[in-house]
Amino acid sequence: MDSGLPRGRSLWRQAWRRLLANRMAVAGGIVVLVMAGLALAAPVISPYGYDQTSGAQFRPPSRLHPMGTDIHGRDLFTRVLYGARLSLGVGFVATAVSLVIGVGYGAVSGYAGGRIDEAMMRLVDIIYSLPYMFFVIILVAVFGRSVFLLFFALGAVQWLTVARIVRGQVLAVKEKEFIQAARAIGAGHARIIVHHILPNVLGPVVVYMTLTIPAVILQEAFLSFLGLGVPPPASSWGTLIADGASAVNALRIYWWLLLFPGGAMALTLFAMNFLGDGLRDAIDPQLR
């Protein structure tokens, strides 16, 4: 029987409605989904093999090669598509690694409190004081260039901020009435953290995730530009940009070697930043 009262909306449903009302965020999400779809469909879309050479070096964009060819005569459009797979993969996987470590660490620290929280946060401060980019460079230099090592190295230095964010949220939530009620009925610590605390602190984590992915992609591009990124013959947007910059007169004559990989990366980073800003405003409308 209908009581005639308006039906309430959950916080996540209201956030979803606010996100859809943000045109820039929606456009950013569409761009990210399209770019990810193109990356996954690269073997089907690309007209050439990944490392296939045509014998036509430094050809400008044409009907046969929409983005031109590189120094080895390889189709740049194909390499940009495959580079998207690696760049986006590094961004998403490294961010996932940082979330797994940071969310668990921050939740335990904030829930435990006292001396345990103090000791865990001092460890975070010590690691934070180290220049993390040099830490990544040392790992790559010692253990060699590897895609999996790059995933781990970039993710292992991003969890510190996540831990701090989650710890602060847990401190604000753990003394709420519903947490005390869960303790009163005999719920264990693990159940309280997983089923009652974490679902209530996921908002800032989701926002941080969308802002971390572009940061990780930029860091991977920086490492690739230094020659410490993914090993050949694999390539990311960063290695393509580095290859284009190393060509003689790249900006004046072989402009396509920098324009298309750099443009693809810049478009994706802009889209993710717009999506992250939209999620932030949608989850916490008081920031608007």
Tell me the CATH number at 96.
Answer: 1.10.3720.10
pLDDT of residue 282: 80
Establish if 142 belongs to a structural domain. Answer: yes
> Per-residue confidence at 34, pLDDT binned at 50, 70, 90?
very high
In a domain, 199, yes or no: yes
CA–CA gap between residue 67 and residue 62 (Å, rounded): 7
118 assigned to some structural domain: yes
**125 has a pLDDT exceeding 50:** yes
Asked whether residue 57 is assigned to any structural domain, the reply reads no
Tell me: pLDDT of 227 over 80.
no
pLDDT tens digits, 38-76: 999 988 888 787 777 766 778 888 888 888 888 888 888
d(CA 281, CA 154): 27
In total, how many domains does the chain have?
A: 1
- The pLDDT-based confidence of 5 (bands split at 50, 70, 90) is very low
Helices (H), the chain: 11-21, 23-40, 42-45, 76-112, 114-129, 132-143, 147-156, 159-173, 177-184, 189-191, 202-225, 237-246, 256-283
The whole domain housing 79 covers 36-46+71-287
Note the pLDDT of residue 30: 94
Q: Does residue 16 lie within any of the structural domains? A: no
In a domain, 281, yes or no: yes
Distance CA 228, CA 219 (A): 11
At how many degrees (to 10) do helices 237-246 and 202-225 cross? 30
Q: Around Cβ 95, how many Cβ atoms within 10 Å?
A: 26
SS3 69: strand
Q: Is residue 115 part of a domain?
A: yes
What's residue 55's pLDDT?
A: 66
Q: How confident is the model at residue 8 (pLDDT cuts 50, 70, 90)?
A: very low
Task: Note whether residue 92 is domain-resident.
Answer: yes
